[in-house]
Amino acid sequence: MTLPTTSRAHRIFGGWSANAVQLLLALTQQIVLIPLFLKYWSGETLSAWLTIFAAGNLVLAADPGLHVWSLNRFLSFKSKADCDRRTNRYYGAAFRLFLGFAGLLAVLIVALSFARAPSHVLGFEAEPGFDFAFAIMALGSTATLPGNLASALYRARGRYARSVGIQSWGMAAGQIGQLVGVIATGSLLVVVLAYVAGLIVPAMFLMFVDVRKQFPLPSGERNTISWRWAAVQFLGAFPFSVTNFAEVGLSYLSVLLIGAFVGDRIAIAQWALTRTIVNLLRGASTQMVLPIAAELGHDHAIGARDSLRRLYARGSVVLVLLVSTATSGALAFWPDFFALWTHGLIPYNATLTITLLLGTCIASPAILALGYANYSNRGPLLLRVKSAQLVIFLLLSLVLIPPLGPLGAAIALVASDLVAQGGFLSVVIVGETLKQPVRYGLLLVAMMLIIVPSGAVLGEVIRHWLPGGGIAHFVIACAAWSVAVAIVALPLMHREFRERLITMIPS
């Protein structure tokens, strides 16, 4: 893809490289470690870990929108003559606000844990140490929230890759600790402690050490903040809070809802593990979009409409191309992988998998719309869209999860995403941004209709054509499919052909 400037290309591709490392570590956490856990844990203990893991990520999604709100503030300062002074003053005051919020959230978590034991609410009374491990995860995740302010500054100043790199080192160390912990002790608590340490240490390093080395922030200066100023920040951040919770928190909230409404503990593992492939697909899409969204936010801030329009249209096409290809491969090979991955201990649900994968693929263009809306300060629009998504999800969950279990949660997630974000948000953002929104939409739909069925059928043919079974058959089949896809995509390696296709993208 041709980008407007060399510096922009460097920032975008640098962000993608850093995100690729983070995605690889997410693959390790959510896929590679699971078979090892199942070797030392029962299915019920694995369900307990997945529930605690979901609770920690739910806390991370509880940032009251201050992360994105601060990012927009930092971006707006870039057009001011006194950018550094404004940034320094805002950072100092906002950091105290972040610390205060994290402290209040920690007190609330402790109070709720004493009022009603999490093990009783979620059905894990038989799991030793569940409540303590749950509290450690929740409080540890809370302690990392102030680090979001530093991450916002890194992202606004084009140093996003550095912050992701530091976090990735922490994730890798935490995973090594989990590996050693489960082998040496088999203890759920030890695994939780290792995971939390991998979150807290890099967050503390970012917010207390590295950020002051990278930026000219005043040392030791205390910024007085008023109640009125704090209220303005929370009110401005509220739409982003709802957006973040609806985007990140719903999939983890669904784990807790299944735990509360479904008596079968294995159903939690079935849902969480099936959601893994979709989380990775969506996570990869989000990580790909983040550097592009930052550039779109920059173009929006300086009024570069033509550059914004071209980057948005081309970024969407690349996103749909990759998501559709990945979806087609997952539809073909996920059943075999799931059986190998779980050693057959967790039942596979084909309807659940297909519902989640196709729903995620169809909604993928809206991920860029969401990223751009976040980085262009569209608070009122995001509040309407994400509030509607939350309401739809909660209503459908309460109705569908008790009778249908994980499938009910899948329908609730997909329906709320498609109606609110894929429908309303995308229509508004695309209509405001592009000159040819109808042609743009038809192109993306055509790409999905061609790529997803073709790739899935190709995968099924290869699976049944190759003899044998087991892990060797799976690896060879995946390799053969990848080679076939690479051959089909080979023309894109020619620059002239690629540039000709780019010029045909409606914007």
pLDDT digits (tens, 9 = 90+) for 480-501: 999 999 999 888 888 888 788 8
With 0-12 / 13-18 / 19 or more C-beta atoms within 10 angstroms meaning exposed / middle / buried, residue 304 is middle
**Domain boundary, last residue among 196, 225, 254:** 225
Asked if 214 and 336 sit in the same domain, the reply is no
Which tokens is 83 given? Answer: 């950018």
Asked if 68 and 121 sit in the same domain, the reply is yes
In this prediction, residue 9 carries a pLDDT of 54
**Domain boundary, last residue among 225, 256, 276:** 225
Of 10-24, 212-226, 280-294, which one has max mean pLDDT? 280-294
Average the pLDDT over each of 42-46, 104-108, 187-191 and give the range with the smallest value.
Answer: 42-46
User: Nearest Cα to 167, choosing from 208, 202, 212?
Assistant: 202
Counting the structural domains of the chain, the total is 2
pLDDT at 18 over 60: no
- Cα-flanking dihedrals φ and ψ of residue 322, to 5°? -70, -45
With 0-12 / 13-18 / 19 or more C-beta atoms within 10 angstroms meaning exposed / middle / buried, residue 15 is buried
Asked if 178 and 296 sit in the same domain, the reply is no
Residue 96 within any structural domain of the chain: yes
Residue 273's CB is within 10 A of a number of other CB atoms, namely 20
**330-357 CB burial, b ≥16 within 10 A, e <16:** bbbbbebbbbebbeeebebbeebbebbb
CA distance 505 to 316: 10
Asked if 165 and 84 sit in the same domain, the reply is yes
* Top-confidence residue, 47 or 265: 47
In this prediction, residue 4 carries a pLDDT of 40
**Domain boundary, last residue among 225, 260, 293:** 225
Residue 230 within any structural domain of the chain: no
In this prediction, residue 249 carries a pLDDT of 74
Asked if 360 and 481 sit in the same domain, the reply is yes
Positive or negative, the CA dihedral 202, 208, 213, 215 is positive
pLDDT at 15 over 90: no
In this prediction, residue 288 carries a pLDDT of 82
pLDDT at 5 over 50: no
Counting Cα atoms < 13 Å in the Cβ hemisphere of 110 gives: 9
Residue 147 within any structural domain of the chain: yes
Residue 1 — very low, low, confident or very high, per pLDDT cuts 50/70/90? Answer: very low
What single string gives the DSSP state of each residue in 67-94? HHHHHHHHHHHTTSTTHHHHHHHHHHHH
Asked if 97 and 184 sit in the same domain, the reply is yes
Residue 2 — very low, low, confident or very high, per pLDDT cuts 50/70/90? Answer: very low
Residue 231 within any structural domain of the chain: no
Residue 259 within any structural domain of the chain: yes
Which tokens is 375 given? Answer: 């980085």
In this prediction, residue 6 carries a pLDDT of 46
State which residues form the domain around 269.
Answer: 239-507
Counting Cα atoms < 13 Å in the Cβ hemisphere of 129 gives: 13
Asked if 245 and 221 sit in the same domain, the reply is no
Asked if 249 and 190 sit in the same domain, the reply is no
Average the pLDDT over each of 4-18, 136-150, 204-218, 388-402 and give the range with the smallest value.
Answer: 4-18
- Which residues are within 8 A (CB) of 237 and not within 5 positions of it... i.e. 6 or more apart? 64, 65, 66, 68, 69
CA distance 357 to 453: 13
Asked if 497 and 403 sit in the same domain, the reply is yes
Asked if 181 and 272 sit in the same domain, the reply is no
Residue 13 within any structural domain of the chain: yes
Averaged pLDDT for residues 450-454 = 95
Residue 234 within any structural domain of the chain: no
Which tokens is 416 given? Answer: 């709320």
* Top-confidence residue, 32 or 321: 321
In this prediction, residue 328 carries a pLDDT of 95
Instruction: Give the whole-number percent of the chain exceeding pLDDT 70.
Output: 93
Residue 232 within any structural domain of the chain: no
pLDDT at 142 over 90: yes
Averaged pLDDT for residues 403-414 = 92
CA distance 240 to 234: 10
Contact 112, 173 (CB under 8 A): no
Asked if 161 and 247 sit in the same domain, the reply is no
DSSP 3-state assignment of 133?
helix
Residue 56's CB is within 10 A of a number of other CB atoms, namely 24
Average the pLDDT over each of 30-34, 301-305, 330-334, 390-394 and give the range with the smallest value.
Answer: 301-305
Asked if 398 and 290 sit in the same domain, the reply is yes
